Amino acid sequence: MLQRPEKSSVPWEYITTIKLDSVSKSYNGVPAVQDISLTIQGGELLVLMGGSGSGKTTTIRMINRLIEPDNGVIYINDIPVSSLHPLSLRRSIGYVIQQIGLLPHLSVSANIGLPLRISGAQEDEISQKVKNLLSLVRLDPEMFQNRKPAELSGGEQQRVGLARALATNPPLLLMDEPFGALDPLLRRKLQKEFLEIKKNLGITIIFVTHDIHEAFLLGDRIALFHEGRLHTVGTPQDLIGSARSDPVLSYFIGDDHLSYSTSLPVISFALRSGSFILFPLAEYSQINQSDYGTKVILYKSEEGIYHASTPGSMHTLSPVSMVDEDATVQDVVTACTKARSHVAVMHTSVNSQEMSDSQIRIILLDDILQFLFGSPE
C-alpha cells in the first residue's frame, strides 16, 4: 500500500525542462506510443495535436505516471519521474480533463479546496485561495462558491475544474481536451479567456487537442502526433511553412487552399474603422472598457508603442505586432507568434510615431485562423 508522501518529496518549485527520451507504450502488442523523444521548455504552452488514437493522451498520462511507459525515460528538470513517488508527482502537477470530474456532493468551494486539504493546508488559507482562484477563472466567489456542480453550466464547470487544478500552485499543468465537450461558441469564449489566464500563470502547460484552430490559437509550439509517433514539432509559422511539402501535416491543417491563402495580402482582413477605437496609453486606467462593446481598444504610448484590449479579453493589455502594408497572411501569423500577440497593426510608415490615426489598420489573428482553418465544429 502506498503511504502518504511528504510534500518535500518532489524536488522542484518550477519547471526548466521536460524531456521524453525514446518513450514507448503498447497494449496487447499494439503500439499506442512509439519511440517519442521530445523536449518541452519551462514556461511554454506546448500543444499535442493529432487524430483520435494518435498517442496524445497516452503521452501526457505517462508524464504524471497514470500510465507507465514500456520503454524510455521521462525527465522533469533532469530527474526521472520514475524515481519519484507517483502520488507526490501527481500532486505537483495540475490535471484538467474533458470530463472535469467534479465531485457532485461537494460545493464548488469544497471541490476547489480538496487538493489543499489533502496537502494539509489550514482552513483560512483554503478559503482565501478558493476565492482568489474563482476570481482568476472569471467566476464571482460570492455567487458560485456554495453552489453544487449540478447547478453550473458546462462552461462554469470547466472553469471550476481549472481552478481546482491550479489550487496547489503547480509548476506544470496537463490539459486533455478540456474544451472538447463544449458547444462551439462557448469553446471559443473559453479559449480566449484561457489565453488571458495563461498570462498570469507563468507555468508550463501541455495541452491536448484535435482542433487545429485551437492549437494555433493557444500554442507556443505544436507537436503533431500521427499513428503513435511524433511526426513534427514547431511554432505555428513553422507548420504553415512546412505544410506544402509535408503530406501528413498538410492533411491536418488543410493545405487544399493553404499555399494560396497564406500568400494573400492581409489588408483585406483589416477591421473597419468603426470596429476599433484609439486612446493614449496614459488614459488606460480611466477607460471603462465595457462601454465599448465589441470594439477593439488600441492604446498608444508616447513612444509610439501599441497595446490592445479585445472584446474577449478586456481585463488585460495585450502586445501588438507591427506589420507593413504589403504584409501577407503568413507574415501576420509569423509576427503574432513571435510576439505572442493576437492583434496586428498595419502601418505605412516605418516609424510608428509618425503614423497618423487615419493610417491605422488592425488585423485580428483569430480572424486569420478562422479563414485558414474554419470555425471549430
- Which position has the higher pLDDT, 271 or 48? 48
Q: Give the pLDDT band (50/70/90) at residue 286.
A: confident
**Are 373 and 271 in contact, with CB atoms under 8 Å apart?**
no
The answer to whether residue 230 scores a pLDDT higher than 90 is yes
Read off the pLDDT of residues 182-197 as tens digits, 9 standing for 90 and up: 777 777 777 877 877 7
Per-residue model confidence (pLDDT) at position 254 = 65
Per-residue model confidence (pLDDT) at position 358 = 56
Per-residue model confidence (pLDDT) at position 259 = 59
Per-residue model confidence (pLDDT) at position 38 = 96
- Out of 6-20, 22-36, 234-248, the most confident range is 22-36
Q: What is the DSSP string of 211-267?
A: -HHHHHHH-SEEEEEETTEEEEEE-HHHHHHHGGG-HHHHHHHTTTTHHHHTTSBGG
Global pTM reads: 0.73
Determine what percent of the chain is predicted with pLDDT higher than 70: 89
**Are 276 and 346 in contact, with CB atoms under 8 Å apart?**
no
> In the chain, how long is the greatest CA-to-CA distance?
70
Strand residue runs (E) in the chain = 17-27, 30-41, 45-50, 71-76, 79-80, 93-97, 172-176, 204-209, 221-226, 229-234, 276-280, 296-300, 306-310, 313-319, 321-324, 343-347, 361-364
- The Cα–Cα gap between 139 and 246 comes to 43
Residue 340's DSSP bridge partners are none
Of 202, 241, 243, 195, residue with least CA distance to 219: 195
Residue type, 331: D
Is residue 113 helix, strand or coil? helix
The answer to whether residue 181 scores a pLDDT higher than 60 is yes
The answer to whether residue 273 scores a pLDDT higher than 70 is no
- The Cα–Cα gap between 7 and 4 comes to 9
Per-residue model confidence (pLDDT) at position 212 = 81
Read off the pLDDT of residues 300-321 as tens digits, 9 standing for 90 and up: 888 878 888 876 665 577 788 8
Read off the pLDDT of residues 102-111 as tens digits, 9 standing for 90 and up: 888 999 999 9
DSSP 271: P
Calculate mean pLDDT across residues 20-31. 94
Provide the 10 A C-beta neighbour count for residue 371.
Answer: 15
Per-residue model confidence (pLDDT) at position 372 = 76
Read off the pLDDT of residues 53-96 as tens digits, 9 standing for 90 and up: 899 999 999 999 999 999 999 999 999 999 999 988 998 898 88
Per-residue model confidence (pLDDT) at position 376 = 53
Least confident of 57-66, 134-143, 262-271: 262-271
- The Cα–Cα gap between 377 and 368 comes to 17
Per-residue model confidence (pLDDT) at position 233 = 95
- The Cα–Cα gap between 312 and 368 comes to 16
Per-residue model confidence (pLDDT) at position 8 = 46
**Domain annotation for the chain: domains and CATH numbers:** 7-256 (3.40.50.300), 266-373 (3.10.580.10)
